[in-house]
Amino acid sequence: RRYVCKYEGCGKCFLRGEHLKRHIRRLHVLQASLAYKCLKKGCLRSFSRKDNLKQHMSI
């Protein structure tokens, strides 16, 4: 039995349900929650809270 990710544009398949759950949690849920992205050149950090981004930017 195959488990398919139903997020729009994804469609990745897994043989085990727990692997699909992990994929969704890591790729779709966590990434979406990291809405505040650092604007420093070359920095790839993202944060779920604006105050954490502000603290990062002040360093």
Residue from 17, 34, 38 nearest 26 by CA: 34
Residue 16 has pLDDT above 90, yes or no: yes
CA–CA separation, 15 vs 35, rounded Å? 31
Domain range summary for the chain, segments of one domain joined by +: 3-57
CA–CA separation, 20 vs 29, rounded Å? 12
The terminus-to-terminus CA distance of the chain in angstroms comes to 49
Percent of the chain's residues with pLDDT above 70: 97
CA–CA separation, 41 vs 4, rounded Å? 36
The average pLDDT across 18-43 equals 86
CA angle 40, 26, 15 (to 5 degrees): 145
Please tell me the predicted confidence (pLDDT) of residue 46: 86
